[in-house]
Amino acid sequence: MLFLSRKGVKDITLCKENGPRLWLPTHLFSCLELKHLKLNYCDFDPPASFDGFPNLLSLELHIVQFESGKFVEF
């Protein structure tokens, strides 16, 4: 994810089917050129400095758990 955040990735899909939910790596939140994001079976806990994805056009969330109060920030 660190490599992708430095390369201006525009489309990310992270899907997991079973077991513990996937913890999103903090580098995901620095992908500011992101246009399309799809998350499945993840825990969403952005760092305090996260101000959203300014270029996001589409967002798909399936079985995503937000840490307390983080959905409002997103």
The mean predicted confidence, pLDDT, of the chain is 83
Tens of pLDDT, residues 18-52: 888 888 888 888 888 999 999 999 988 888 888 88
Q: Between these two residues, 66 and 55, which has the higher pLDDT value?
A: 55
Beta strands in the chain (DSSP E): 11-15, 22-23, 36-44, 58-66
Per-domain residue ranges for the chain? 2-73
What pLDDT, on a 0 to 100 scale, did the predictor assign at position 58? 96
What pTM did the predictor assign?
A: 0.80
Distance CA 4, CA 21 (A): 21
- Quote the pLDDT of residue 74: 55
Distances (CA, A) of 51 to 21, 44, 64: 23, 14, 19
Q: What is the dihedral of CA 32, 5, 45, 18, to 10 degrees?
A: 120
Question: Do 31 and 52 contact (CB within 8 A), yes or no?
Answer: no
